[in-house]
Amino acid sequence: MIPYTVNIKLAARTLTGTLNLQNKTAVDWGWQGLIAQGCHSSILIIDPNTAQTIQVLEKHKANVVKVKWSRENYYHNLSSPYCLRLASGDASGKIIVWDVVSGTAHCEIQEHSKPIQDLEWLWNQDASRDLLLAVHPPNYIVLWNGDTGTKLWKKSYAENILSFSFDPFDPTNMALLTSEGIVFITDFTHSKPPSSAGKKVYIASPHASPAHTKPAPAAAPAPTGAKKALNKVKVLITNEKPTAEAVTLNDCLQLSYLPSKRNHMLLLYPREILILDLELSQTVGVVAIERSGVPFIQVIPCAQRDALYCLHENGCITLRVCRSTTAQEEAAADPEQSSHELIYDLRSQCDAIRVTKTVRPYRMVICPINENNAALMVSDGRAMLWELKAHAGRATGNPSSSLSPLYSPVSFCGALLGPNQKRIHDLCLNSMIGQTLISGEALPPSSNQQEVQLKFLLTGLLSGLPLPPFAIRMCPPLTTKNINHYQPLLAVGTSNGSVLVYNLTSGLLHKELSVHSCEVRGIEWVSLTSFLSFATSAPNNMGLVRNELQHIDLPTGRCFAFRGERGNDEPPIEMIKVSHLKQYLVVVFRDKPLELWDIRTGTLLREMAKNFPTVTALEWSPSHNLKSLKKKQMAAREAMARQTVSDTEQSAVESSVISLLQDAESKSETSQAISAREHFVFTDTDGQVYHITVEGNTVKDGARIPPDGSMGSIACIAWKGDTLVLGDVDGNLNFWDLKARLSRGIPTHRGWVKKIRFAPGKGNQKLLVMYTDGAEVWDTKEVQMVSSMRIGRNVNYRILDIDWCTSDKVVLASDDGCIRVLEMAMKSASYRMDEQDLTDPVWCPYLLVPRAALTLKAFLQLQPWSGTFTMDITQVDYNEKDEIKGLIQEQLNSLSNDMKSVLQDPELSLLQRCLLVSRLFGDESDLHFWTVASHYLQSFAQARQLTASTAEGQARNEGAQPSAQNHLDICHDVLCESSYFQKFQLDRVHLQEVKRSSYEHTKKCADQLLLLGQTDRAVQLLLETSADNPSYYCDSLKACLVTTITSSGPSQSTIKLVATNMIANGKLAEGVQLLCLIDKAADACRYLQTYGEWNRAAWLAKVRLTPAESSDVLKRWAEHLCSPQVNHKSKAILVLLSLGCFYKVGEMLHSMRQFDRAALFIEACLKCGVMEANDSSNKLIEAAFLDYARLLRSLGLREGAALWASRAGSAGEQLMEELFQGEGGVPEAILGKEELELSLESSE
């Protein structure tokens, strides 16, 4: 006999349900493209593209309150690979850093025992990416090393900290939202705790002003909510503690810096969003909700465009986009709505959900890579995945709406579209909406800009289990007979009367059937595809209920009442038990004799007499007489066949015996339905065991066994083979060996034995026991316990129901709303993601082993392979195990068809390809690098074509400012073109000027205007100072100085002397202002840099200096960023790119060992014509190409390695020989290299 090993591989997994209130904030969408979501004490990992749960992490003992994916803004190679790393904090103060693919905890951190308030991975330096900042209540921030779990520093503050936000443009700035106000920290570093206590500001809530509380007089028309808010919210930030009646910050829900422009912050209140300009500490924009509108819960600002995703209390997500200031000037007829306000127009909204007591929207997250996908987490465990779509055309509904049109950009992946180039329309937010224009800028007169409308589309929905309690039952076990069509289905009865059927190989819902009108109490399968379930309604005052017993057929969904008309006003059903051959059914009632039914015909065989003993436990015996019956049946068949032959003419005797037998079989089944004899045992209230035999429709009473004195009232019975086990209400188990006629009692001291079940599989004598406080697995052969779980000791949930799902795995339903499939040891464990059987393939390169992920990236970046575009890795020369090849191919297959066709489009340039691949991989550092690189390579190439007539030296190239028709988005801050940056800053000062409301603000505005060179406007502001102001005299003199500054040389030298003295005596800002007045801004920048004000110097250089001078200042800054104490080389590279120092960038990339980036970048430079292969540059070019070839060889991509080695000079030839030694020279594919290059160039 073959050993019994057939067991469909079921992974241990958790089916999750509703969320706990503490899980509200525990959700995060990472650059890796996956969503992490806390559910009670476990964490789900969701793939938003296919809406599947691909991992559940279990190790926390308390509810998870925060999850954060690590950032991907570092260069990826074999030593720092693509990996899924997640930090999670729970309500008991424990932080776990996970390796998500293997499902294991990488390290565990514990400081205090209160819930973690906030978590963030630091991303601001190149040295380490393992640093994790956490807020431990009430008032500590602690910096941890998330790799080793060691504490680096800890700092306490005066108030309770609710959350924090980092300035995305300057990592030394962060803001803490505390219970009383905001604390701004300006000296944050990872090396030591902030030295100062930070600058505290209090926020007088806009509602506290009396104008909001007083009803408006009846005569005057009441201003609308939005306008009223604008009038009142002049100054919000004060340094003094507000008076008692002014409500303090408590109703501020959230604070975040805007990633789309520097020094702006938003504060979220239930009815408005305030946009602050931090240089002025002044509100510059308000998004208010009308009185009838739905309040906000959360807002997420975007980086690619100045836009806000807002979540409202009814689960509606709205997208608001900042209005262009040019468009506002046209609409300035209404003076209230003049252009002096940042206005966010509602551009799109999705459908709301039905909010009830138990169903509320909790949080939304948006995709950080593309910013055009949002996911909404609902308290009932649903995750709704919305996608933002842009479609061309004007708004149809309301022609008079004052919204200015949104235009779609003309470029794709950072480059202008080719005439017949394929593109993905909704790739990301900045490829859907063009840039917000600023005043003084005309719309580019390109004909092919289209107006677009935005709308949300629901593209995925994940739903969890309903609220507990559950009744669960696994379908009949796998046998050799049903192996071909077996599906491991688990039926889950719920409290609202529906039955959910889950397929446990994939963990997905197979069917949801609405069967009953009240809570399902139990389920029994009668075949692989049909089951019986029963439910009882709440009892009336007589203690009688309505019983529902339904028979459900899964393939058709047909369901009928099994007991016909019976069931109204009778005692409740206690249990139903189906016999082993699925022939008979026993229905046990509370105060009424049991009923015996024939399942096949649906008829009642016997209703027991009134004096029948009360049943406390019952079980069918596994023994029956089916085999002897089969023999009888064969005999009957032969007799039938003989009879048939004698009846017909003799000539037909030759007709096939088989058909006769079939004929006979059908007849014998109709005439003589054979019923096998089956037995069941039950116990009464005294503990006496009865034995009853059922055959056909006869029921016989058998032997009775007197009660065992050591046992209490019997609660359950299990029988398999020759072992019978009884469990009682006092926690005793009694094992009977029927063959040897021995019994053995074991007290477990665990209280009432609720259920006992034998494991499936021949000869498998394991037993699962459920108590009120947990469960145990026993081995009945040895009579000893195998494993145990108990609430409070190793788990924190109560068990509601148990069953076996295979011969070695159990399934438990628990009161935290989850159903867990566990190994027999019953340790909750996460599973390895690569062992999973997913229904839809998931694109996530992070799931591959590090080397394979890098191979996949190179495979996509280096298309075409030997002249052909392919999405089949087997077509390239790649020597690797087939298993890994298969995994890479699965990833390639899971890409969408649009993406595949774009990647195989010969029109796609190298820069666009690199940018697209970095988006696909969610590689933050790659994405920033290629965005800036592709922008400046193209604009310098264009500028070069224009000035082609002049000399072609590199020196000329670096000084010239590029002339681009589209500029880099303002979220890149000082990396933008100077002209655009200048316009943006002027626009901003203009806004600040309108919003100023105190002398402080006016002074700041005047200072800014002087630095920007707007002297006339500055003089007007200086002359506004009132006579009783202490600085009246000073300001008046300053105004005189500014107006007379244009005079002779001697005055210039005096002013310069005064300025340098001021700077030497610590008045840096004033000295810089004076230098700017006499057009010595270059000196001013130098002084700022000497005193460590690097960012301010870069800002000033951008707005005041000529391209050549500003280039010098920024180069010095780049050198400073490269210095070991700052160690921010990645930022330095971006600065050098914006200056057009491409050769230097190539050198730096190569020296930082970023070989693939260096080689591809140099290749792009050569193609754009901004770098030439001459004697000076050849050394770098060849070295970069050679190292890239070596990298490709180490990844196993031999063909690619040969391609790059063939361009790396003499050293490359040597590598070629190593690559192909013993294979008779270089293959033809490589010799065709020249033609390939030509084809590449022509495609460019």
> Strand 118-121 to strand 104-110: parallel, antiparallel, or no bridges (unpaired)?
unpaired
* Range 917-939 average pLDDT: 91
Alpha-carbon span 572 to 520, nearest angstrom: 12
Burial level of 740, CB count in 10 A (0-12/13-18/19+)? exposed
Alpha-carbon distances of 351 from 317, 385, 389, 669, 1168, rounded to whole Å: 8, 12, 15, 58, 47
31: pLDDT strictly greater than 70: yes
* Side chain identity, residue 192: K
Lowest mean pLDDT among 248-252, 1034-1038, 1153-1157: 248-252
Residue 1019's φ and ψ, nearest 5 degrees, are: -60, -45
> Strand 373-378 to strand 361-366: parallel, antiparallel, or no bridges (unpaired)?
antiparallel
Q: Which two tokens stand for residue 578?
A: 């189906």
Q: Give me the pLDDT at residue 84, please.
A: 92
Alpha-carbon span 105 to 1081, nearest angstrom: 54
Q: Give me the pLDDT at residue 3, please.
A: 37
Q: Give me the pLDDT at residue 1223, please.
A: 55
Alpha-carbon span 1006 to 1077, nearest angstrom: 13
First and final CA of the chain: distance in angstroms? 68
Q: Give me the pLDDT at residue 658, please.
A: 52
- Judge whether 564 and 571 are in contact, CB under 8 Å: no
Which of the listed ranges 333-347, 399-413, 756-770 does the model predict with the highest average pLDDT?
756-770
| Rounded-to-10 torsion of CA 253, 258, 259, 261 | 180
* Range 861-888 average pLDDT: 83
Q: Give me the pLDDT at residue 1054, please.
A: 86
Lowest mean pLDDT among 449-463, 968-982, 1219-1233: 1219-1233
Q: Give me the pLDDT at residue 938, please.
A: 87
Provide long-range contacts, Cβ within 8 A and 24+ apart, for 149-154: 149/97, 149/107, 149/108, 149/109, 151/111, 152/190, 153/192, 153/193, 154/111, 154/193
- Judge whether 1168 and 941 are in contact, CB under 8 Å: yes
689: pLDDT strictly greater than 50: yes
Alpha-carbon span 307 to 786, nearest angstrom: 58
Confidence tier at 424 by pLDDT (50, 70, 90): confident
* Range 663-681 average pLDDT: 65
Q: Which two tokens stand for residue 705?
A: 């066994």
Confidence tier at 1047 by pLDDT (50, 70, 90): low
* Side chain identity, residue 933: A
Q: Which two tokens stand for residue 254?
A: 């959230």
Burial level of 951, CB count in 10 A (0-12/13-18/19+)? exposed
Alpha-carbon span 1003 to 1034, nearest angstrom: 12
Lowest mean pLDDT among 149-163, 905-919, 1045-1059: 1045-1059
Q: What percentage of the chain exceeds 90 in pLDDT?
A: 39
- Judge whether 180 and 249 are in contact, CB under 8 Å: yes
1048: pLDDT strictly greater than 70: no
Q: Give me the pLDDT at residue 647, please.
A: 53
Q: Which two tokens stand for residue 442?
A: 């005309």
Q: Which two tokens stand for residue 306?
A: 């100045």
Q: Give me the pLDDT at residue 239, please.
A: 57
- Judge whether 298 and 346 are in contact, CB under 8 Å: no
For 578-589, write each residue's pLDDT tens digit. 999 999 999 999
Cα 1108 to chain centroid, rounded: 45
Range list of β-strands (E), 1034-1158 = none
188: pLDDT strictly greater than 50: yes
Residues 6+ apart with CB under 8 A from 951: none
6: pLDDT strictly greater than 80: no
Residue 755's φ and ψ, nearest 5 degrees, are: -150, 145
Alpha-carbon span 893 to 194, nearest angstrom: 49
Q: Give me the pLDDT at residue 949, please.
A: 44
For 615-656, write each residue's pLDDT tens digit. 999 999 998 877 777 787 788 778 777 776 555 544 444 445
- Judge whether 1216 and 1233 are in contact, CB under 8 Å: no
Residue 681's φ and ψ, nearest 5 degrees, are: -115, 150
Q: Which two tokens stand for residue 367?
A: 């995709």
Q: Which two tokens stand for residue 129?
A: 């990416």
Confidence tier at 778 by pLDDT (50, 70, 90): very high
Alpha-carbon span 1244 to 644, nearest angstrom: 85
Report the chain's mean pLDDT, rounded to a whole number: 83
**Helices marked H in 1013-1048:** 1015-1022, 1032-1044
* Range 815-819 average pLDDT: 90
Q: Give me the pLDDT at residue 1232, please.
A: 40
Residue 254's φ and ψ, nearest 5 degrees, are: -165, 150
Lowest mean pLDDT among 70-74, 373-377, 470-474, 672-676: 672-676
Burial level of 693, CB count in 10 A (0-12/13-18/19+)? middle
Alpha-carbon span 548 to 646, nearest angstrom: 52
Q: Which two tokens stand for residue 972?
A: 């890149």
Alpha-carbon span 1205 to 1215, nearest angstrom: 7
For 727-776, write each residue's pLDDT tens digit. 999 999 999 998 988 889 999 889 999 999 999 988 899 999 999 999 99
Cis ω on the peptide bond leading into residue 301 (within 30° of 0)? Answer: no
Alpha-carbon span 44 to 53, nearest angstrom: 7
